[in-house]
Chains A and B, each alone.
Chain A
Amino acid sequence: MNSVTPKEAKRAVVQLTVLRILVYVILIFLSVLCLFSFVMLFINASRSNGQLQAGFTLIPGGHLLDNLRNAWTDSSINIPRGLLNSFIVATATAILTTYFSALTAYGFQAYDFKGKKLLFGFIMAIMVIPSQVSASGFVQICYKYGLTNNYLVLILPGIAAPIVFFYIKQYMESNLPMEIVDAARVDGCGEFKTFNFIILPMLKPALAVQLIFSFVQSWNNYFLPSLLLTKAEMKTVPIMIAQLRSADYSKFDMGKVYMFILLAILPVLVVYIILSKSIIKGVTAGSVKG
């Protein structure tokens, strides 16, 4: 390291440059791989069925609005209704998940009580259990008590979200000065009020990220909703997309099919493009210490 001849130094520079070029080639290749299907989606959603049958092209077809109108007014797949349904379920779930995860995290962070360690360990343990393994019993209960086609059974389970809880707990450990709580108590502020009006505003960055993540997760959720939502007017977007696949595909206007897919992913895509920086930052904060 200390005694490098000019020749060696030059070789090292050349090596580094070659390596760097190689790295950029890999990165660009992977980016193209990620973007290809979505670019095709945008292009094909703008082409008419005839154009789509005619062959491959990367040039948009100018029928974006026609396809949008056809998809929006389709008689068998009511996509505006689906978008509204998904929006209702996802928004309610996101708010409940985030609020109650913060409440639970604060309960562990600010108070001392018997069995605290045990209960915390319990939440850590259930974090790895796949949600599908309790689906059978859940579906049975819902059918037995007439709770199918009821959004509450999709929204309320969001109150217990171990991963979101863990994320917010981690955030509190490094970002929430507990002196504030003492100060609030001295001022005679009630515990619940302290949480709602003093603590929650201080958690804004963490809450925002978790609101987005839980919204997206609920928006994309397919397994349980497909088992519990049977009425056409109650169906959410992922169920409609799956229906599209089961329909007799050859008779379909393909421009319309691409438009359906585009409409399904567009809301999340737009939010992501606007907030990508903070979303990407939020990916790590919950799982990695330090």
Chain B
Amino acid sequence: MNDKQLRRNQKGGVSYAKWGYLFIAPFFLAYFIFTFAPQLLTIYNSFFENYREGLKQVGPNFVGFGNYVKLFTPDKTGTINILKYTGNTLALWLLGAVPQILIALLLAIFFTSYRLNIKGQQFFKTVIYMPNLIMASAFSMLFFTLFSNVGPVNQLIQAWGWSDVPIDFFAYKGTVRGLISTMNFLMWFGNTTILLMAGIMGIDQDLFEAANLDGASSVQTFFRVTLPLLMPILVYTVITAMIGGLQMFDVPQVLTKGKGMPDRTSMTLVMYLNNYLGGSKNYGMSGAISVIIFIVTGILSLFVYRSLNRKD
């Protein structure tokens, strides 16, 4: 809303304020009912013992921080599961997001370079963006069938004589994590490329010309002109990628049948949440996990935002 518009309304003497409230009311009403109230309830629940065991309902009994203490208590093997799953989630995210952002940055530079003048841009963009719209659970199921013991990838490996027996991709931490990260990379690098491209094209072209006239090399131009001016969009990209990464669920859930195999090394935080919420309807524990995800999201957003903006 610009000032001119405001003044004109006031001059008219008729107050349109009530229409403003009326038009935005459904949004806030829906947000309050379907997100905000459940959010408060989630936090409230996290202080209660409240779950089903078979047909028996336990609780709700107030336990204070009991659920949180339980979350951070080591299990029989001495593992603190919540920390393990947070580590898994971050590892899976980093493994996919680092190449995602670096390659997207590289592609964005290629596509916007007048000197390179890349042909067939529309085609390449269409192809690399496509996986972003594909149903993640179906994409994951597809990868499972392709990489299963009897799938085409193993058939190729055997046909080419690389291995006599099929490679069980789902038995090793490295390959499972690799597959999940590859899928996440494929689903998101095209999207990031397009965002960064728009960012680069939004930079004043005169600046590039000036750098060129001053004798700056392409590398210098990139680090001294493009990158600093691209920072706000890069920060946005990293933060949204990170929040998306923390929510990682569909792909590892379907790929590992919800088990996070092997030995729960690909179990993410939301899969953990889903385990408590799905069968036993454990609102206490799932509430506590939700609160932790919420806090982790906040801290990481702040951290990335500040570290990327350190210069100014």
Contact = CB atoms under 8 A, between A and B. Distances in A.
B35 A103 contact: no
Interface residues of B, number: 112
B284 to A, nearest CB: 9
Contacts, number: 311
A278 to B, nearest CB: 12
Given A107-B22, A113-B20, A160 B116 contact: no
B142 A191 contact: no
A140 B51 CA distance: 11
A240 B215 CA distance: 60
Contacts of B2: 178
B226 interface: no
A56 interface: yes
Interface string A108-138: 1111111010010001001011111111111
Contacts of A272: 130, 133
B14 to A, nearest CB: 8
A137 B20 contact: no
A132 B213 CA distance: 51
A264 B258 CA distance: 20
Contacts of B301: 128
B77 interface: no
A287 interface: yes
A159 B27 contact: yes
A88 interface: no
A100 B26 contact: yes
B23 interface: yes
Contacts of A40: 142, 146, 152
Interface in A133-189: 133-141, 143, 153, 156-160, 165, 178, 182
Given A1-B215, A241-B135, A133 B20 contact: no
A202 interface: no
19 contacts: A37-B142, A107-B19, A111-B17, A111-B23, A112-B17, A113-B18, A128-B243, A133-B293, A134-B35, A136-B283, A139-B281, A140-B281, A156-B34, A159-B30, A222-B253, A242-B253, A264-B137, A268-B134, A288-B199
Interface of B: 1-2, 5-6, 8-10, 16-24, 26-31, 34-42, 44-45, 103, 106-107, 110, 115-116, 118, 122, 124-131, 133-146, 148, 150, 152, 155-156, 159, 186, 189-191, 194-195, 197-199, 202, 212-213, 215, 233, 236, 239-240, 243, 246-247, 249-250, 253-255, 257-258, 270, 273-274, 277-278, 281, 283, 286-287, 289-291, 293-294, 297, 301
Interface of A: 1, 16, 19-20, 23-24, 26-27, 30-31, 33-35, 37-38, 40-41, 44, 52-53, 55-56, 100-101, 103-104, 106-114, 116, 119, 123, 126, 128-141, 143, 153, 156-160, 165, 178, 182, 191-192, 195, 216, 219-220, 222-223, 226-227, 237-238, 241-242, 244-246, 249, 254, 257-258, 261, 264-265, 268-269, 272, 276-277, 279-280, 283-284, 287-290
Given A104-B24, A160-B28, A220-B134, 5 more contacts: A20-B116, A56-B155, A130-B243, A133-B293, A265-B134
